[in-house]
Amino acid sequence: MIRRVVWHVVVLAVLAVMLYPILWLVAGSFKPGASIASSVGLWAGSLTLDNYASVLGPAEIPVWRYFVNSTIVAGGAVIGNVVTCSLAAYAFARLRFRLRAPLFGFMLATIMLPQHVVLIPQYTIFQRLGMVDSFWPLVLPKFLATDAFFVFLMVQFIRQLPRDLDEAARIDGCGPIRIFAHITLPLIKPAMITTAIFTFIWTWNDFFTQLIYLSSPDKLTLPLALRMFVDLQESASSFGPMFALSVLSLLPILLFFAAFQRFLVQGLATSGLKG
What x/- string results for residues 183 through 222 when contact with another protein is judged by CB under 8 A? ------------------xx-xx-xx--xx---------x
Of 100-119, binders to another protein (CB under 8 A) are 100, 103, 106-107, 110, 112-119
- Separation CA 215–CA 145 (nearest Å): 26
43 binds another protein (CB under 8 A): no
The 10 Å Cβ neighbour count of residue 185 is 13
Restricting to residues 16-35, name those near another protein by CB under 8 A. Answer: 18-19, 21-22, 24-25, 28
Binding of another protein at residue 73 (CB under 8 A)? Answer: no
CA gap 253, 249 in Å, rounded: 8
Amino acid at 97: F
User: Interface with another protein includes 121 (CB under 8 A)?
Assistant: yes
Question: If binding is defined by CB under 8 A, does position 67 make contact with another protein?
Answer: no
Residue 90 sits in the site that holds another protein (CB under 8 A) = yes
Which span (60-68, 69-77, 96-104, 155-163) binds another protein, by CB under 8 A? 96-104
Residue 257: CB atoms within 10 A of its CB come to 14
Interface segment toward another protein; rule CB under 8 A; list 55-63, 71-79, 145-153, 188-196: 145-153
Q: Which of these, 193, 230, 223, 218, lies nearest to 205 by C-alpha position? A: 223
Q: Is the dihedral of CA 202, 225, 70, 64 positive or negative?
A: positive
H helices, E strands: number in the chain:
14, 0
